[in-house]
Amino acid sequence: YYYSPYVYVLHKDSKVAKLQELNGKVIGVETATTSEDFIRRQLAIDAPGLPPIEYKIEPGEIRTYADSMLPFDDLRLGDGVRVDAVIAPEQTALNAIKNGYPLRVLEGEYAFREPLVLISEKGDAEWNAKVGEILGQMKTEGVLAELTTKWYGKDYSVD
């Protein structure tokens, strides 16, 4: 029902201006997530209409963390102190910045977009059709756009 873009997050003092400058650098990700699958070139998302995943950088080292905020904690220590960049959902990165972390998102680039879905019990076709109908209507009427903009400051409902 909406797409979560994963972005490259840098320390605010980083001189990196282009994605290719992250080649050979230390990249931090939360372990056992789509971010880790992506940086290890193992991510497979089978979703209609989603563009193919492009792997544009080759990290020098991948550093994994047990929690979503731990890579940001290392990154805020300074540019290249423990990590050079973090790959994470844009919403998480912007929330860290809002909470005073001295970080920035690499402009004009995202790693990939992860479709977010509602899950229901398998086998109830009538229920699934009704939920799909309601979500489709919410999207058509702009309700999903309003909700994602209200809560995240951006319309993540666009395809």
Query: In terms of domains, do 94 and 142 share one?
Result: no
Asked if pLDDT for residue 159 goes beyond 80, the answer is no
Query: In terms of domains, do 23 and 55 share one?
Result: yes
Residue 158: band (very low, low, confident or very high) from pLDDT cuts 50, 70, 90: confident
Residue 56: its H or E element: none
Whether 74 is in a domain gets the answer: yes
Query: In terms of domains, do 63 and 104 share one?
Result: yes
What is the tens place of the pLDDT at every residue in 37-93?
999 999 999 887 788 899 999 999 999 999 999 999 999 999 999 999 999 999 999
Query: In terms of domains, do 137 and 60 share one?
Result: no
Residue 123: band (very low, low, confident or very high) from pLDDT cuts 50, 70, 90: confident
In this prediction, residue 132 carries a pLDDT of: 86
Residues found in the chain: 159
Question: Can you give the residue range of the structural domain that contains 126?
Answer: 118-152
Whether 159 is in a domain gets the answer: no
What is the domain count for the chain? 2
- Find the CATH number of the domain harbouring 110: 3.40.190.10
In this prediction, residue 157 carries a pLDDT of: 83
In this prediction, residue 10 carries a pLDDT of: 99
> What Cα–Cα distance (Å) separates residue 110 from each residue in 12, 81, 82, 143?
17, 23, 22, 25
Contact between 35 and 70 under an 8 Å Cβ cutoff? The reply is no
| Average pLDDT score, the chain | 93
Whether 158 is in a domain gets the answer: no
Query: In terms of domains, do 98 and 127 share one?
Result: no
